[in-house]
Structure 1
């Protein structure tokens, strides 16, 4: 078969293809021009700010319980119902509004075994019912007198006190503002010490607020035949603490 000479178009393209092949990075052994430089990591300043606010408590939660024992579940529940009604009447007679009293817990259970000093079991009624009540007192200075009156009642056991602040959210918000301001102050000090400037904020972590109404429980769990007043002094302040993590970029 006779060999045909290349066409005019093929003859023109051949030198171009050869030039492209010689110019290819793969052919020359040089790295691809498309590889991009990875930008250097942006410097950051990370701190944790804290803030604290103090407020005087303006109410107290008093926890009391009414407890009865009986030979059957039905009997002990009925006895506890009647005793609770008497307790509520006594509480209201001391100037506490009914809406400031509520059930915190109600339980009926088998009475645990009890032993005397010699280790011998005592006879006990088989079932116990306990109705725990929460009483809100708006006059914090009157808590001691109220506790004394409650202790004098046979049907009620005084258990604990928790102090609180009615508008606690405002104190928590202020504590968080102070935590953010403290974080900014720390970051500025670090930047000045390092000879750099603060750039934009890169991250604000989840803030945490604690303290305040979380009570210091004054456990009492006692009765008294007569107690005109109990020396209960409200705390001078409740402390609300906040914490927040923040991060700034280092400026140009």
Structure 2
């Protein structure tokens, strides 16, 4: 009995010690939060710094590195198999001709291949013209670095049978280079405007607080490149395609500075 009473007494003393420790910890936390409250109130009441927000616009013009010509080989047949076989034969002829013009095999790529039912056709009197039931369309992308020879290359391609010339575009090896240069120019323009406004207002620029990236858009001159076809026996003629001297990129950026009073 004495041993049990001693054990109970020690347990009660331990419990009371734990409670006392917890009370001291709670009081310390309360005191810390109470002391910090004035500082938080001061921060909340502090006025927001005056700022100046400027939208900058930048432009970059870079010489294109390559041209891409998009063409299609289109054939027809009364069955899917015949349309596909005819397309394969025509495509092989086209590929051989393109490679004979100095275009590497790896610079010729298939963009799309599809077979569909041939849409109905009407003559001038409104009478339906009988056509093969199926059409196979093989879209090709041809890349060349001979920019001055794009028109001649397009003419040679169109002299092949069953060819459709679709479009031509120009690009850069590093597509991001134009956008990056335009962004740098946009930041310089924003800084120039901000300095001007600050000087006119009799203040100075403080720390840079925000940078908000805008869009970057490439602007390539628009060309009238309607789809064209040429008969198999037609001689190759150069198409008047003049490559752009430069590719133009435009970027926007918004910068926000804190305004500081002049000393």
In the TM superposition, residue 41 of structure 1 has moved relative to its aligned partner by 2.5
State the distance in 2 between where 1:105 and 1:215 align: 26
State the distance in 1 between where 2:108 and 2:223 align: 18
In the TM superposition, residue 148 of structure 1 has moved relative to its aligned partner by 1.4
In the TM superposition, residue 217 of structure 1 has moved relative to its aligned partner by 5.2
One of 214, 222, 232 as aligned partner of 2:241: 232
* Counterpart residue number, 2:225: 219
In the TM superposition, residue 136 of structure 1 has moved relative to its aligned partner by 0.3
State the distance in 1 between where 2:117 and 2:162 align: 20
One of 195, 201, 212 as aligned partner of 2:202: 195
Q: For structure 2, which runs of at least 5 residues remain unmatched after alignment? A: 1-37
* Counterpart residue number, 1:10: none
* Counterpart residue number, 1:40: 47
State the distance in 1 between where 2:128 and 2:163 align: 26
State the distance in 2 between where 1:223 and 1:170 align: 36
* SS of 2:45 mapped into structure 1: coil
In the TM superposition, residue 238 of structure 1 has moved relative to its aligned partner by 1.0
Normalised by the length of structure 2, the TM-score is: 0.77
Runs of 4+ in 1 over 6 A off after TM superposition: none
* SS of 1:141 mapped into structure 2: helix
**Counterpart contact for 1:43–1:250, Cα < 8 Å:** yes
1:89 and 2:91 aligned: no
One of 72, 79, 89 as aligned partner of 1:65: 72
State the distance in 2 between where 1:247 and 1:118 align: 68
Q: Deviations over 1:27-81 (max 9, x none)?
A: xxxxxx9975722222111111111111222211001100011112222122212
State the distance in 2 between where 1:73 and 1:177 align: 54
* Counterpart residue number, 1:132: 139
Q: How does 1:150-189 map to 2 (within 5 A)?
A: 150-189=157-196
> Could you say which structure has the higher helix fraction?
2
Q: Tell me the number of residue pairs that the alignment of Structure 1 and Structure 2 aligns.
A: 219
**CA 1:159/1:227 → structure 2, altered by over 3 Å: closer, same or farther?**
same
In the TM superposition, residue 84 of structure 1 has moved relative to its aligned partner by 1.2
* SS of 1:205 mapped into structure 2: strand
Q: For structure 1, which runs of at least 5 residues remain unmatched after alignment? A: 1-32
In the TM superposition, residue 92 of structure 1 has moved relative to its aligned partner by 0.6
